Chains A and B, each alone.
Chain A
Amino acid sequence: MKLENVAVLGVGMTRFGVYRDRSNIDLAREAGLAALRDAGISFKEVGEAFVGYLGAMPMTGIRAMKEFGLTGLPVTHIENASATGLVAFRDAAWAVASGRCQVAMALGFDKMTEMSAGRGAGRGVGRDAIDSVILPAAYFSLWAMRRMHERGTKPEHFAAIAAKNWNFGAKNPWSDRQPDHEVTVEEILASRKIAEPVTAMMSCPVDDGAACAILATREMARRLQPGRPLVAPIVSALQSETYARGHTFMGPVVGPPSMTRDTAREAYEESGVGPEDVSLTLVHDAFATEELEYYELLGFCREGEAEKLVEERQTHLGGRFPFNTDGGLIARGHPGGPTGLAQIFELTRQLRGEAGPRQVANARIGLAHLVGGGSVCTVSILRRE
């Protein structure tokens, strides 16, 4: 269903990184207050909140919200693995679009560094469960190995995507990884092997952070921010798996690649926007191998042409379809809960024309995509009105 009468009023995030001495709630407060400042409103005006995280204890979302004040607003926890932040955004957008409230907040935070130390379900090491042996890196590498078999894709294609995202990271002050030199394909390929053909530098880091988006009616956004371009979510699709012969049921399953195609098709059909209209795209590049697949699955090229898109640098700044301009999961980072809201942060700043050295010229429509284990896929499209 198309989203109407809702706009992004404000965004805020912490830089993603390793924060040993800061709590989830501390990070959440920083991101939330930044979003409120950007929105130009007081917390009193927030009518509803959706909070997402993977690693913290139950109730942490409501506790985090009390950092902003105790106003009695409804607070709902959202959890959809890696897709959590973008799903919190979806529900906040609908809370406004449905008329249930005038202003809604989507807040995400996580400390993946603590989850991967063995307390959470992130890595599976040592857990006596039959499918925890299949690491996420292995699962996505299975796609990549099949692709290499069918299409002759080379590790260099994946490395070129990783290098692009690292180098975007250097242009983004909120990015975890900000290399001090131009990262090369050779450097990516020479880094430690994780799971054939994926290397360490083709993989997202383990990091912490928080991000927040505030949604409001378009009327309110125009009234409060008369001088600023209005950025509006126009659709947000969310799907879980659809059964087909050959479906795998075990492992940290993120569903078959077709989930992305199906979810994107829903988003395109309901919004009337097509891939040719999209100015920039942010995807779930937990591994660089995924991003190549998404070029096709999101409809930016025909099947079998993703390698050509890489070779022609069409997904770089200045190309036809800039991808992961904030560095993506690989450079900007992937704490979990806030990841999707960091995507909304980047899309909003790009569509307002505030993205500095990584600005996509005349950005008008932005697309955010995430998959989440379990599994789900979600696609949101934002437009500058």
Chain B
Amino acid sequence: MSEVRKPRVPIEPGFFTVPEDPATPPRLLGSRCRACGEHFFPRRQVCARCLAEGTDDVLLSPRGRLYTWTYVHFPLFGSKRADHAGGYGVGQVDLPEGPRVMAVLQGEPGDFQIGMEMELELETLRENKEGQDVVIHRFGPAGRER
């Protein structure tokens, strides 16, 4: 018996994958410079390091290390969900390819430690008029049951 799943759409296209199967981890959409190999998130056409034109689309590692974090004591924007009312974590995560990604974090203030391994997931913000779930990428402590 298959459970009925609502289709999911990203809050803004072009930043992360939204796998059909929620069990499949999402990936960030990045770029790799064809001339010098530097990686970027989000995607860009011109390399910010060597200024060469021409990058390849790549999927970036879904895991990285927490460089810094904070906890914002306001509801996550655009969300009316009760579990978003108290606030949300924000952090910068260093990916093994180089980019430092600033994103929402999953968890409470006590869950975060600088240097810990984080993994990418998708969080539902709300349902849109078409009945789809609007999702945003976020990082949570790696290897944790959710």
Contacts and interface: CB of A to CB of B under 8 A. Distances in A.
B109 A249 contact: no
Interface string B120-136: 00000000000000001
B102 A250 contact: yes
Interface string A362-382: 000000000000000000000
A129 B70 contact: no
Contact of A138 (B41, B48, B49, B70): B70
B90 A130 contact: no
Interface residues of B, number: 34
Given A130-B12, A130-B15, A149-B114, A247 B48 contact: yes
B12 A129 contact: yes
B42 A248 contact: no
Contacts of B10: 130
B61 interface: no
Given A195-B90, A196-B109, A249-B41, A142 B69 contact: yes
Find the residue from B11, B40, B92, B109 having the highest chain A CB count within 10 A: B92
Interface stretch (A92-100, A120-128, A208-216): A120-128
Given A247-B48, A249-B40, A137 B72 contact: yes
A194 B41 CA distance: 28
A63 interface: no
Interface string A177-205: 00000000000000011111100000000
A138 B72 contact: yes
Find the residue from B42, B48, B90, B94 having the highest chain A CB count within 10 A: B90
B137 to A, nearest CB: 8
Contact of A126 (B42, B69, B78, B101): B78
A251 B103 CA distance: 8
Contacts of B67: 146, 246
Given A246-B100, A248-B92, A250-B42, A132 B77 contact: yes
A173 to B, nearest CB: 33
B100 A128 contact: no
A194 B104 contact: no
Contact of B49 (A125, A243, A249): A243
Contacts of A138: 70, 72, 90
Find the residue from B10, B41, B103 having the highest chain A CB count within 10 A: B103
Given A196-B70, A196-B109, A197-B70, 12 more contacts: A125-B77, A125-B78, A135-B72, A145-B69, A193-B73, A246-B94, A248-B102, A249-B41, A249-B42, A250-B41, A251-B102, A253-B102
17 contacts: A125-B77, A125-B78, A127-B78, A128-B12, A131-B102, A134-B102, A138-B70, A141-B70, A141-B72, A141-B90, A142-B70, A149-B114, A194-B73, A195-B71, A195-B73, A249-B42, A250-B41
